[in-house]
Amino acid sequence: MTPIDNTEDRYGAVAVLFHWSVAFLVIGLAALGLYMVTLPDVGFTTKKVTLVLYHKEFGVLAFILLAMRLVWRVTHILPRLVERLPDWQKIAARFVHLSFYALLFALPVTGCLMSSAAGIPVSFFGWFMLPDLVHRDDELFHRYLAIHKWLGYVLILLIVVHAGAALRHHFVLKDDTLRKMLP
């Protein structure tokens, strides 16, 4: 059974739960985002509007979970990286993780800025509305839309790199890197 707290050798149940819940949520949001951009803007269909609203609400949820995960991470021990890794791979692993945090905070922020600039409020599952962060401005909306889109593409690339590295560790190097994060 996985301990609740992290140890020097593996992540605990809370960290594992945060990792996989954020991972599945973010992969779902990325897939939804990729699908939404294929839908026409002309006539802005009910389907696209509904999907955009879900994307926003689950994006806020991802932001909240990520904030909770970050608090957990900075207040608890991190398991050691595999000892025999070259230094450049250890640096790359830390860089990718820090990049994930930066992107996963920047994406919901740019999404909210985009919605504010479009004059469209962001609801969190009907519980509350997020405040507008900027004034309504079509040019600003298009800038934030482009930033949000490209940050999403970079995130997808990082997910592929991260998953590929984890699978390489598991199947090729046969070390405990992936097992540390499995329940």
pLDDT in tens, 107-166: 999 999 999 999 999 999 999 999 999 999 999 999 999 999 999 999 999 999 999 999
Q: Which of 117, 173, 172, 125 is nearest to 141 (CA)?
A: 117
**DSSP 3-state of 30:** helix
Residue 125: left if φ>0, alpha if ψ -120 to 50, beta else—which one? left
Q: Is residue 5 part of a domain?
A: no
Q: Is residue 4 part of a domain?
A: no
Q: Is residue 109 part of a domain?
A: yes
Q: Is the per-residue pLDDT at 177 higher than 80?
A: yes
Q: What is the CB neighbour count within 10 angstroms for residue 115?
A: 21
What's the structural domain count of the chain? 1
What integer pLDDT is reported at residue 87 of this predicted model? 92
Domain that holds residue 126: 13-181
- Distances in whole angstroms, Cα of residue 132 to Cα of each of 111, 117, 119, 120, 171: 11, 8, 8, 9, 47
What integer pLDDT is reported at residue 106 of this predicted model? 98
Amino acid at 131: P
Q: Is residue 7 part of a domain?
A: no
Q: Is residue 90 part of a domain?
A: yes
Q: Is residue 8 part of a domain?
A: no
Q: Is residue 40 part of a domain?
A: yes
Q: Is residue 137 part of a domain?
A: yes
State the average pLDDT over residues 38-49.
Answer: 80
For residue 89, give the CATH number of its domain.
1.20.950.20
